[in-house]
Amino acid sequence: MNLNSIFHETMPKIWEDYEPRESQITLSSKIQELLQGSGVLLAEAGTGVGKSLSYLLPAALYSLESGSTVVVSTETKALQDQLLFKDIPLLEKILNQKIKAERALGASNYICKRKWKIAEDTGNFGTEMISQIDNFQEWLSETQTGIKTEYNGYASSEFWSKVTREADNCLGKSCKNFSHSYYFLEKEKWKKANILIVNHYLLASHIAGDFRILPNFDKIIIDEAHNFPEIVGRSFRSEITYDYISKQLSFLYSKENKQSLIQKMGSPENLVDALDEAKESLIKLYSRISSELGLNLYGSVRIKKPLLLDKGDFEISLARIVNLFIDKSTKYSKESENNLEKEIALGLETGISRFRGLIDFFAELRNRKNENLVYWSEPPNFKEKDKFLKLCSEPINVDEIIAEIFIPKMESVIFTSATISSPKGDFNYFEDQIGFKQVERLELDSPFNFQKQSLLFIPKNIEDPSNEERYLEDIFVWIKFLIELTEGNTFVLFTSNKSLKKIHEKLDKESNYPIISQLSQGAIQAKQLYLETDHAVLLGVSSFWQGIDIKGDRLKSVIITKLPFQVPSEPVLETKIEKMKEKNINAFAKVQLPRAGLLLKQGYGRLIRSISDTGIVSILDPRIYTKSYGKTLLQTLPKGVLPETDPRVLLDKYNNLPKI
Ligand code: SF4
């Protein structure tokens, strides 16, 4: 089917107000060319181009013709819902045929029938679940998919961990539930899909897991691609807590837990001794960690040098268990008809792989041989009653992972987003992030008239953010003025929780408009409340800078309090900066500035979501004027929108914004 005739003839018949747009047709044709051939495309398409239909159409055509699946990866669930419930049904009308579209979720989203049976037999649901369990059982008897988010009742996170699938604790084909396992039934559907929708986390786990999670595919469209490299990094991250290790050891053996693996094996003395010894070593290890790393109550602290710790005693105790497990595992088989034997065989296998992971983690923390790994500590999670620091590691060579492991496995990769280039038209930052330069680039401007629809307000005479107290006083005055100007209907975007809390306290006392904070409500609840409340003001941090789509008069003003530079002491960034300095590369120009530009563009993009939206974007950071990089950052914003500095002129212009 010819794309041109679809856009020019079919779509206007199906979609009443549809008018063919050159930018949409250009994007769609380019994607079709890539899917039919091969290569890597970076396609920046401003809001309103109609990006999702531009790629779904050629993806569906390609799949229907070739019989192979095209994968679409997104960052947000909101976009997945739009694709599944709005765009694909429309596509079916356009093509006049059924498109098989499926959404794949990560393993832990599915109920594991085997684990549920164990929990049910032992009645070990956790105290919080006692009053809820009938509800849950009723849902379980009806669900076709076993997807936990479809359960509307309450379930504690501990309960979910007892009944959902774990990749390394699954019997697979050896499970007697295999033929009706929720997860594997879903996987069968994924294989048959024309379009398989995944999120970036699952895609990254698929890459990290040697491409074994999703069915085979070699054509992929990555939408909301600007955050993909960072998400890949996070998926390769290890996060270890005392509580996690302690639970692993207790799962294997504790006197109270009659269902522990070792007790199922008849409590062999050498294993009981080895487990007891490991528990003691763990306590010693964490007391060494506390004394070597000190107290960290506020954020991430990079661990730059090898640690002495317990000189490897804990690793030795784990290695002893691993060896005993390997020895014992010859006696048990996952293929056995006997359920107990199956459970023991799987438990041994899981234990071996998890303990090997822990041995590697701590050995590297003591020796620091791998230059690609960054280690850091985070404060204990007091809500989870953790007493000790959380330890984390993450690779810094994400670009190599994408360029050398992921892209070569694919025939066609389309990275698309409203924000890929920074400054405008310059794709170098993103190319560095994916480590790949042999790309085709396409840049399509938004069809919205930002000059007419939006005002940019950047007042002068604000204190530099380095003088935090004065700066917060100054911006508070402007925030209050701007909220009154648009009668609420405002997003105030912060780069730190601390500033948000301070401004929140003051606004609570001095503003008449309903103030909703992401920190008090959580992101989902805060957005919901904002949409339900007239004239509301939402104070948000990270997630509200991007991916939120509110059209119409509900959002008339976006206030960017501070330029969104990533904290340079953030461990992964700090390490990258150091490595760049060693190579005489200007890390600020190469990484920090373009990244801030992308986020600024995302923040600006919250305001104008349709042809009829109007409003004000304000930037309350004087560095736009006082620092040389200010001009570069302004260049990332929509062309032709000039900053206004005078509040009286702003008031006048705001009152004269078109009523479209
Ligand atoms: S196949 Fe795996 S996920 Fe499915 S029920 Fe069995 S153990 Fe659980």
| Tally of CA atoms within 13 A in the half-sphere of 462 that contains its CB | 29
pLDDT > 70? residue 572: yes
Q: In residues, how long is the chain?
A: 660
- Predicted confidence at residue 251, as pLDDT, reads 85
Provide the pLDDT for residue 386.
76
Q: Look at strands 490-493 and 537-540 and give their pairing.
A: parallel
Q: Report whether pLDDT(382) > 80.
A: no
Residue nearest to atom 7 of ligand 1 (CA): 170
DSSP for 328-361, please give it.
HHTT--TT-S-HHHHHHHHHHHHHHHHHHHHHHH
pLDDT for the residue numbered 387: 83
Percentage of residues in the chain with pLDDT exceeding 90? Answer: 82
ipTM over 0.95: yes
- CA-to-CA distance for 15 and 10, rounded, in angstroms? 9
For the chain, give the mean pLDDT: 93
Q: How far is the CA of 609 from the centre of ligand 1 (A)?
A: 43
State residue 127's pLDDT score.
82
d(CA 178, CA 342): 14
Domains identified in the chain and CATH numbers: 22-100+193-233+398-444 (3.40.50.300), 107-184 (no CATH), 242-387 (no CATH), 450-655 (3.40.50.300)
Q: How confident is the model at residue 551 (pLDDT cuts 50, 70, 90)?
A: confident
Nearest atom, ligand 1, residue 178 CA: 1
- pLDDT grade, residue 568 (50/70/90)? confident
Residue 406 alpha carbon to ligand 1 centre in Å: 28
Give the pLDDT confidence of 102-142 residue by residue, as tens digits: 999 999 999 999 999 999 988 888 888 888 999 999 999 99
pLDDT of 544 above 90 = no
Query: Looking at residues 414-419, what average pLDDT do you find?
Result: 95
Rounded alpha-carbon distances, angstroms, from residue 502 to 60, 248, 472, 545, 651? 50, 41, 8, 19, 27
Query: H-helix or E-strand containing 298?
Result: none
Is the confidence at residue 38, as pLDDT, over 90?
Answer: yes
Examine the pLDDT at 558 and tell me if it is beyond 90: yes
Distance 159 CA to ligand 1 centre (A): 17
Contact (Cβ atoms closer than 8 angstroms) between residue 460 and residue 619: no
Which of 23, 83, 22, 85 minimizes the C-alpha distance to 57?
A: 83
Share of the chain above pLDDT 70, in %: 99
In sequence order, the 6+-apart residues with CB closer than 8 A to the CB of 134 are none
Q: Whose CA is nearest to atom 8 of ligand 1?
A: 112
- The string of pLDDT tens digits covering residues 480-518 is 999 999 999 999 999 999 999 999 999 999 999 999 999
Say how many Å lie between the CA of residue 264 and the centre of ligand 1. Answer: 20
The CA 168 to ligand 1 mean position distance, Å, reads 11
User: Per residue, what are the HEC states of 208-265?
Assistant: HCCCCCCCCCCEEEECCHHHHHHHHHHHCCEEECHHHHHHHHHHHCCCCCCCCHHHHC
Model confidence at 660, in pLDDT bands (50, 70, 90)? low
- For the cut 80, the answer to whether the pLDDT of residue 354 exceeds it is yes
Q: What is the pLDDT of residues 168-225, one digit of tens each?
A: 999 999 999 999 999 999 999 999 999 999 999 999 999 999 999 999 999 999 999 9
Measure the CA–CA gap between 301 and 293, rounded to whole angstroms.
9
pLDDT of residue 243: 93
CA of 354 to the centre of ligand 1 (A): 19
What residues does ligand 1 touch, defined as CB less than 6 Å away?
Answer: 112-114, 165, 170-172, 175, 177-178, 181, 183-184
- pLDDT for 129: 87
Mutate to test the pocket of ligand 1, among 143, 165, 187, 343 (most ligand atoms within 8 A of CB): 165
Sign of the torsion angle spanned by Cα atoms 375, 376, 377, 381 = negative
Distance CA 201, CA 481 (A): 40
Residue nearest to atom 2 of ligand 1 (CA): 170
Chain centre distance of CA 419: 17
Q: Residue with the nearest Cα to atom 4 of ligand 1?
A: 181
Q: Which atom of ligand 1 is nearest to the CA of 112?
A: 8
**DSSP letters for 495-533:** S-HHHHHHHHHHHHHH--S-EEEHHHH-HHHHHHHHHHS
**74 CA from centroid of ligand 1 (Å):** 27
595 CA from centroid of ligand 1 (Å) = 42
The pLDDT of residue 411: 98
Residue among 304, 299, 467, 308 nearest 380 (CA): 299
Which residues sit opposite 395 in a β-bridge?
373
Tokens of 615: 């409003």
Give, rounded to a whole angstrom, the gap between the first and last alpha carbons of the chain: 36
Of 109, 111, 179, 183, the one to substitute when testing ligand 1's pocket (max ligand atoms within 8 A of C-beta) is: 183
Q: Which residues does residue 440 pair with via DSSP β-bridges, in sequence order?
A: 41
pLDDT at 258: 76
pLDDT higher than threshold 90 for residue 15: no
pLDDT per residue as tens digits for the range 595-642: 999 999 998 888 988 888 999 999 999 999 999 999 999 999 988 899
